[in-house]
């Protein structure tokens, strides 16, 4: 929690992680979670967004729409805001959610407003959806705010948080076998979301069946991640990816498919596109000892390996 008094802090630096959405993505997005609860299993990822807020008398109004909207929501004026992100543009890592959490948290700390991690996540999501008109769920903001491994249940506007506690040995093994690769193809998730929502409202059977499959896989993945074999996660990732592609044809393309073919021949047990798909980053789980081979093969295909660790801390801020 952030304390409050009448004097603004002069400088606040904040950062927040992106996320790897292992399984369950899409079920956090309305209207998909209005009637049937969604479940997402994700992990905060050490590719981070960073924000610096400085109090400056007579500062010009921010030109960035995200910054303008956040300053209005926090009721903060005369500040200069710098935003940076380690995430490639259109990466599927939830980069805008991480920026939003870092921004809201930094502005709140600057203004000495008392906000919990949940409140920061909720406000960051509200700004994206209500102020900026960006379609998306809440998992990105919650991963950025809380960090670590999360099982998030969504029903309507409500979010139930389960922080998954894995022992250090299991985290190290999962880290060692996890590969995130950027395809070099940026994509606009809002466009894909709009197409899938249109199919959902038309009650397209493939879309409805895919969402049911994604929910089932998420429940199984949570159990295996906590108590089962890491190898079992590979097939569950594949099942989630098959359902993700069934949602709409735009979730994949020829280049993404080629990365999956290469990965399957180079030691990947399973994988999926991160975020909405259609490009951006892909996640693969390697067989034990096969990570270097898999990484080399993906680089040879033109991919960029993002070698950051899991982020167990989530949002943090430094004040001066």
Bridge partners for 42 per DSSP? 21, 150
> How confident is the model over 206-217, as pLDDT tens digits?
999 999 999 999
Is the domain of 174 the same as that of 152?
Answer: no
Question: What is the SS3 assignment for 77?
Answer: coil
Instruction: Mark whether 136 and 218 lie in a shared domain.
Output: no
Do 295 and 156 share a domain, yes or no?
no
86 and 60 in a common domain: yes
pLDDT digits (tens, 9 = 90+) for 139-155: 999 999 999 999 999 99
pLDDT given at position 34: 94
5 domain-assigned: no
Task: Please indicate, yes or no, whether residues 148 and 205 belong to a single structural domain of this protein.
Answer: no
Domain shared by 154 and 190, yes or no: no
- Is residue 6 included in any domain, yes or no? no
Encode pLDDT of 287-306 as tens digits: 999 999 999 999 999 999 99
- Residues 313 and 270: their CA atoms lie apart, in Å, by 27
The CATH number linked to 205 is 3.30.70.890
Q: Which residues of the chain have pLDDT under 50?
A: 1-6
Q: Do 265 and 157 fall within a single domain?
A: no
Kindly report the pTM of this predicted structure: 0.94
**Same domain, yes or no: 178 and 252:** yes
∠ CA 57-58-63 to the nearest 5 degrees? 115
4 inside domain: no
**Given this model, what pLDDT does residue 187 score?**
67
Q: What pLDDT is attached to residue 319?
A: 82
In this structure, the answer to whether residues 180 and 67 fall within a common structural domain is: no
Whether residue 1 is contained in a domain is answered as: no
**Total domain count, the chain:** 2
Same domain, 25 and 96: yes
183 vs 190: CA distance, rounded Å: 19
As a whole number of angstroms, the distance between CA 253 and CA 225 comes to 29
Is 26 contained in some domain? yes
Is 63 a member of any domain?
yes
Range of the domain at 241: 168-305
In this structure, the answer to whether residues 105 and 226 fall within a common structural domain is: no
Q: Are residues 141 and 59 in the same domain?
A: yes
HSE-CB for 108 with a 13 A CA cutoff: 24
Classify residue 23: in a domain, yes or no. yes
Q: Which CATH number does the domain housing residue 105 bear?
A: 3.30.230.10
């Amino acid at each position: 929690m952030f304390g409050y008094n009448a004097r603004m802090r002069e400088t606040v630096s904040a950062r927040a992680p992106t996320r790897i959405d292992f399984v369950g993505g899409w079920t956090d997005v309305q209207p998909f979670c209005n009637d049937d609860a969604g479940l997402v299993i994700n992990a905060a990822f050490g590719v981070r967004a960073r924000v610096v807020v400085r109090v400056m008398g007579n500062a010009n109004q921010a030109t960035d729409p995200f910054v303008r909207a956040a300053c209005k929501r926090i009721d903060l004026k005369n500040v200069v805001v710098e935003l940076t992100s380690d995430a490639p543009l259109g990466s599927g890592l939830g980069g805008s959610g991480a920026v939003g959490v870092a921004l809201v948290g930094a502005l709140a700390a600057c203004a000495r407003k008392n906000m919990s991690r949940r409140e920061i996540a909720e406000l960051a999501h509200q700004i994206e959806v209500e102020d900026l008109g960006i379609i998306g769920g809440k998992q990105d903001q919650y991963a950025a705010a809380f960090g670590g491994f999360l099982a998030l249940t969504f029903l309507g506007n409500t979010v139930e948080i389960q922080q998954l506690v894995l022992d250090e040995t299991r985290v190290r093994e999962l880290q060692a076998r996890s590969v995130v690769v950027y395809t070099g193809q940026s994509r606009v998730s809002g466009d894909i979301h709009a197409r899938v929502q249109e199919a959902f409202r038309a009650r397209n059977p493939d879309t409805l069946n895919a969402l049911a499959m994604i929910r089932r896989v998420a429940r199984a993945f949570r159990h295996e991640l906590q108590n089962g074999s890491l190898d079992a996660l590979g097939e569950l990732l594949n099942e989630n990816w098959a359902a993700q592609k069934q949602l709409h044809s735009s979730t994949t393309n020829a280049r993404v498919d080629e990365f999956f073919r290469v990965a399957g021949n180079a030691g990947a047990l399973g994988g999926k596109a991160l975020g909405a798909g259609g490009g951006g980053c892909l996640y693969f789980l390697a067989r034990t000892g096969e990570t270097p081979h898999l990484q080399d093969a993906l680089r040879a295909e033109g991919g960029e390996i993002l070698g950051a660790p899991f982020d167990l801390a989530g949002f943090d801020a430094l004040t001066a």
